Structure 1
């Protein structure tokens, strides 16, 4: 049932459809340093874009925190109740010492930032349809489904963005959703059940580099769009494919990541499809610089601009 969400807001036409909040960043007593994920990367992306005179605070859309009512559009009450136990959040975020924190601190310093990023993805989905494109500087919690979190993903922001306006499990029997996934077949989570929902699986081997990776992106994105014309593309633009990433296991260069993003946005433009980009995973300190450089490249290539709404 629809509900009266406060996540959607009127946005000035002078604003870019780029969504962010300083509350995205997770910092608390150094605990965030116990996970390989850079939990302050979102602020670093924004700082790089400001240094390049591409963005100012008044040009961005401020994300709002998703409420429990917002989250119940997808999540079960049972799952949301489980997040009130610190040991559950410690398991999801893969930061064991979180077990020992009172849950009110976990809610404030860990889950509130993730709920704000989730609200950002939902808002960005609306903007993408209105403006033709949008970028949430955070979000992309693709390891979370309606009743299960993991891999630093506590809320299913992609599913919430689709239904409000681990997502593979959530769309298992939904023919309206076409999932393309290009991934290292050897790594986490190895969820065979969830893989059944992927309409186009592109499984890569350890160490796949730029040439093979980009060729597969070009081939399979185009093939998918010839099979299915969506109302909107949600692009999970993770940087864990970067060479040297401790978890991704691939060998794509920074230039390769920037080219990949350009190719996906170009495909969306060619097919006249709105696109929402979320930044997702990436476990090296310099991924923030790559994300910022990619956004700048999208602008320089004319793929994000004040073009006419679709």
Structure 2
């Protein structure tokens, strides 16, 4: 609708990631679990009816589909050990308030769905490595001791939510222009520390690429190689402890971020941290079909598992 000209977000990022992975022969159409749009019933698990009624629902259908993808990917992660929603990560949205391109609280929704509907999932750790503070999920889980939040962000940029910071169990505030060496050392130290402090039943990894050098909103200076290494650090920590991990791609406001996300997923595969054998979206897998039926009706976007 031309809205992409009014803000720096690359609205085609997610499709580009999928296309890059197809070009590299990592995935094919029959190896993709296709996300379904989150229904009102799904969204009301977290959001109030009053909040939902305020939103322009037709325009936001792609965001509801990505939200459905995050919920589905959470279930798939528990079932298979890992899942990546090529989209999602709307970490500025809480139950009653959106913000920062985020209209639906998909991280909160995914965790609450797992707590309520998946046996054996009672503790979650959010590792938020987007350049911005994840104030949405922090507000939602402020008093919920089942959820451990680690957040690494540029201290000087949006949203600067002092109240939400009270929910962060492991807070790492970065300076303008932080580069690879310092950044990766802090990520490694604090990811290990967080998972040693509490072993969760699921990790939700918010893997924003707005930490990339030159990002107009992030204010950090991480190289493409640094982002690939960052994701590797998080997945190695999760897999070495046999903790299921759900990754969402969150912010990233440069045209080259899609290629970097694809390169990172390829690196995870090449290192054996994710499997090439993927769950199909067809009726051959009744478990996945059941997951899909539980989440929504319309399919649009793509969720990769």
Counterpart of 2:111 in 1: which secondary structure?
Answer: helix
**In the alignment, what sits opposite 1:249?**
219
Q: 1:258 aligns to what?
A: 228
* Residue in 2 that maps onto 1:42: 14
Query: Residue 37 of structure 2 aligns to a residue in which SS?
Result: coil
- Count of aligned residue pairs for this structure pair: 258
Deviations 1:183-232 (A, max 9, x none): 00000000001111010000000000000000000000000111111000
Q: Return the match for 1:273 from 233, 239, 243.
A: 243
Partners of 2:245 and 2:51 in 1: CA distance:
30
Q: 1:32 offset after TM fit, Å?
A: 1.6
Q: 1:202 aligns with which of 172, 179, 184?
A: 172
The reply to whether residue 112 of structure 1 matches residue 97 of structure 2 is: no
Deviations 1:224-257 (A, max 9, x none): 1111110000000000000000000000000000
TM-score (norm. length: structure 1): 0.82
Match of 1:129 in 2: 78
CA distance in 1, matches of 2:212, 2:276: 30
The counterpart of 2:145, out of the listed 160, 175, 188, is 175
Q: Matched residue of 1:179: which SS?
A: strand
Q: Does 1:193 align with 2:163?
A: yes
Distance in 1 between residues matched to 2:227 and 2:144, nearest whole Å: 30
Match status 1:155 vs 2:104 = yes
Higher strand fraction (1 or 2)? 2
State whether residues 269 and 276 of structure 2, in contact with CA within 8 Å, keep that contact through their aligned partners in structure 1: no
Distance in 2 between residues matched to 1:40 and 1:189, nearest whole Å: 25
Q: What per-residue deviation string (whole Å, max 9, x for no partner) do you get for residues 49-90 of structure 1?
A: 111111111100010000111100000111111114xxxxxx
Instruction: Look up the match of 2:93.
Output: 144
1:4 aligns with: none
Q: Does 1:31 align with 2:9?
A: no
1:213 paired to 2:183: yes
Partner SS state of residue 42, structure 1 = helix
Q: Tell me, what secondary structure is at the counterpart of 1:142? A: coil
Deviations 1:75-120 (A, max 9, x none): 0111111114xxxxxxxxxxxxxxxxxxxxxx33x31000000000
Gaps spanning 5+ residues in structure 1: where? 1-27, 85-106
- Following superposition, the deviation at residue 34 of structure 1 comes to 1.4
* Alpha-carbon distance in 1 for matches of 2:6, 2:273: 37
Q: Which has the higher contact order (CA 8 A, sep 6+)?
A: 2
TM-score (norm. length: structure 2): 0.83
- Name the CA distance, whole Å, in 2 between partners of 1:37 and 1:267: 30
In structure 2, the residue corresponding to 1:178 is in which secondary structure? strand
Q: Secondary structure at the match of 2:138?
A: coil
Q: Distance in 2 between matches of 1:251 and 1:32?
A: 24
**1: CA distance between counterparts of 2:109 and 2:85?**
14
